Each structure stands twice: as C-alpha cells, then as structure tokens.
C-alpha cells in the first residue's frame, strides 16, 4: 500500500480502479479543500519550475481557478481583476527588470 494523502483530480479514483487497484478516498470540508488546494498550487508551481512545459502551466491554471471558486469568486471576477491590474499597472509583455530606485 502506498499512502498519498493529497488532493487529486476528480477522475483519478476511476483511473486507479480501471487499472485493477483499489483506493481509499474521502470528501474534504471546505476549509480542508482550500488548504489542500494551496498545497497543490505549491506542488504544481514546483513541477512547472522543474519541467517548464505547457502541461504544468495548465495544472497551475486549473488549481488557481479551483481556489478562486472555492474562495467564493467567479472566474469572471478573476479575469476582471486581472484585466484591471493590467490596465492600471501593465502586464509583463515588455520584459522590464527593475534594478534599483533612488
């Protein structure tokens, strides 16, 4: 038996069982869910930093969207906030690296 104790995507138990194995799962409370999502976000960011590929970027986005909804925001609200900040402060398109301020 291998112990994971981590949040997984919704279809993972089905995939495990289709492989002829059994798994034990439980449904998290809202508080546990948000905490597990935040741990998952750190895990996915670390995987992206190691592999730097599109799949890991997609995983980060999936977790961020889930955190947004779990905290009571809509994805539309998230996009509005992103666009507002981009409008007011800019994005990262111009590759500006601030070295110092006097």
Distance, in Å, from the CA atom of 23 to the CA atom of 25, rounded to the nearest integer, reads 6
CB 83 within 8 A of CB 50: no
Helices (H), ranges, 1-102: 12-18, 30-51, 54-70, 75-89
Distance, in Å, from the CA atom of 74 to the CA atom of 6, rounded to the nearest integer, reads 25
What is the full per-residue pLDDT of the chain (102 aa) written as tens digits? 999 999 999 999 999 999 999 999 999 999 999 999 999 999 999 999 999 999 999 999 999 999 999 999 999 999 999 999 999 999 999 999 999 999
Residue 9: the pLDDT is 97
Give the residue extent of every domain in the chain. 28-89
CA-only gyration radius of the chain, Å: 18
């Amino acid at each position: 038996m291998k112990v994971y104790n981590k949040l997984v995507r919704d279809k993972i138990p089905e995939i495990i069982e289709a492989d002829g194995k059994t798994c034990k799962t439980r449904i998290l409370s809202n508080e546990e869910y948000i905490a597990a999502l935040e741990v998952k976000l750190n895990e996915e960011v670390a995987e992206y930093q190691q592999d730097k590929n599109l799949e890991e970027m997609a995983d980060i986005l999936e977790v961020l969207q889930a955190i947004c909804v779990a905290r009571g925001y809509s994805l539309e609200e998230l996009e509005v906030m992103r666009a507002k900040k981009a409008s007011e402060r800019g994005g990262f398109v111009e590759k500006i690296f601030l070295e110092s301020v006097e």
